[in-house]
Structure 1
């Protein structure tokens, strides 16, 4: 992959001139690139953004990287060539610097979501990197680990044997979630991680790699799955093997995808946590306001979202509070362009009871 092929020399010159907010057109064009639309999570992310674009009066251009690093860069190049007023994307595969550089060459502001860069928003090298919005992955990974460890019973030797199905290698999302599991494991020396595989955050890959891991380690009684697609793949592997998920093997996951909410309700999935697909809509509001002259304070430029946990006993309340899994959200009420008293584009999902 030659991700730097379009980057010109002199990146350091970006620090010499601060990017000033452009005034939005009557209907600004905001470009979005997602890692893959094959995943339910990213489909929900985009659907929420489309709702916001309709309410705010934004032309939304959504491009799919199709889980390919080169396609991520090509999509960003396309958005720059189209003259997007702002760009929102998820910098998987170390595409933060290349993407920000491409956008800076055309003075386009960028918000990164879900996976962050190695430097903070509004860094002098990239003044066009105006904000980050994403989940508190480490905390979520820890909660998943704690729920799994508490639920599984020790084997005859007193040990608890678990498997780990990670997400896309090298992304901050995968790294932080696994670090959270590590935090949970520190207090439980009786837990043994018999093996780890990369599921690339998608169902089919996760199913295949877990089947291979499980075949060589039949003593596994619990699985920590890095996201919704990964958990779904593990559930399929267990079911196809004639075993009962939730009884023969305990599984935890993340994302609150509809099928995983159903799996929690059915007792197949012990624990799920999420709602961070909302980050796309929050980023849209933030970008829209920026294009309309509302600067982002440095202390509000790096937003880490607290996530909503779900267990079987909370499913009924979850469905009552969030019909269809979607919270009530008024995009204009959260926009400074429409509401001068708006406090933040982001909000924390909580149960009413």
Structure 2
């Protein structure tokens, strides 16, 4: 009897051992289910989860922060809690989620937009917040503007180049940072005149309606800077309707590597394209999986990190990325990126090169 009980406990231990290895992660995706960027972001995460053996669930909030908070409440205070909750500080909701997480036993990882310095001061240091990973949004906005200006034909001394800018949402950190980067580039180029900056809310339709009015007001515009691809396409439609040619009469820039944006880059309708940050959730999962394996993230580049994922995508990159989109695993060996057992000098190689190897 004793022997049987001992074997049963051993089997139980094995069962628990197996389940303990497959940590459960819930990602609260702030985007909409029909948004190319956030869908590709989820797909890359799912590829990472498959390779790492992580039990991943994803919930979309359709760009409604109150829905994210409701999802977080159920996850953190309900009976079926994940081991890890991953979320973005979209529209600055992180402190509310951190409050809900008190005593929940769930570990937290923030992606895309980390705590602001003010929020950090308010919430202090917490053992359950294991890390954050954000892209180089400010630098991205700067690189995009610099590339757009570089591609514009030179103008006569004293003449100016007219620009329209489409930012996302005023209350989104990534939007504000990209805008700051754009303004930094403009400070270096007094010949470029920003006629107007508007908030297109990341959507094609809104940017189209705004561009129709702005092009009447500013008929000499020859540059359009957009903080995502959807807004660039909206403005592009308005430019085409007045008989001008995108990529020739008006140069466009955009952020995101959606199939449509990559194709527009190849076709020359987009002149400058920035992307790569759709991979961020997948890279974050590597860190979460490492944490579950007992890795101290502080040893490998710090627990709160910004990584230069936003890079300029040329036509060659665009062709390769478009071809890669059909591969369900993106050809990345996520397990090989682990810091487990590595020397302290190791740094996670989270970049486009790892993706494009």
User: Taking structure 2 as the reference length, what is the TM-score of the superposition?
Assistant: 0.83
What is aligned with 1:304? 306
After superposition, the Cα gap between the structure-2 partners of 1:45 and 1:271, relative to the gap in structure 1 and judged at 3 Å, is same
- Is the 2:140–2:274 contact (alpha carbons within 8 Å) kept by the matching residues of 1? yes
What is aligned with 1:171? 172
- Is the 1:69–1:93 contact (alpha carbons within 8 Å) kept by the matching residues of 2? yes
Q: Which runs of 5+ in 1 are unaligned?
A: 1-22
CA distance in 2, matches of 1:280, 1:104: 24
- Identify the structure with the greater helix proportion: 2
CA distance in 2, matches of 1:317, 1:192: 30
What is aligned with 2:337? 334
Are 1:27 and 2:29 matched, yes or no? no
Are 1:107 and 2:105 matched, yes or no? yes
- Is the 2:167–2:179 contact (alpha carbons within 8 Å) kept by the matching residues of 1? yes
What is aligned with 2:214? 213
- Measure how far apart 1:162 and its partner are: 0.3
After superposition, the Cα gap between the structure-2 partners of 1:185 and 1:67, relative to the gap in structure 1 and judged at 3 Å, is same
Which has the higher Rg, Structure 1 or Structure 2?
2
- Is the 1:222–1:249 contact (alpha carbons within 8 Å) kept by the matching residues of 2? yes
CA distance in 2, matches of 1:287, 1:135: 17
- Is the 1:121–1:302 contact (alpha carbons within 8 Å) kept by the matching residues of 2? no
Paired positions, count? 326
For residue 297 of structure 2, give the secondary structure of its aligned residue in structure 1: coil
CA distance in 1, matches of 2:107, 2:36: 27
Give the superposed CA RMSD: 2.7
Q: Deviations over 1:190-227 (max 9, x none)?
A: 21111111112232222222223223222211111001
CA distance in 1, matches of 2:298, 2:317: 36
Are 1:58 and 2:76 matched, yes or no? no
**Is 253-262 or 41-50 further displaced after alignment?**
253-262
- Measure how far apart 1:39 and its partner are: 1.7
CA distance in 2, matches of 1:129, 1:289: 15
After superposition, the Cα gap between the structure-2 partners of 1:189 and 1:317, relative to the gap in structure 1 and judged at 3 Å, is closer
- Measure how far apart 1:317 and its partner are: 4.9
Q: Which runs of 5+ in 2 are unaligned?
A: 1-17
CA distance in 1, matches of 2:71, 2:268: 40
The structure 2 residue matched to 1:83, chosen from 65, 81, 103, is 81
- Measure how far apart 1:296 and its partner are: 1.6
- Measure how far apart 1:271 and its partner are: 0.7
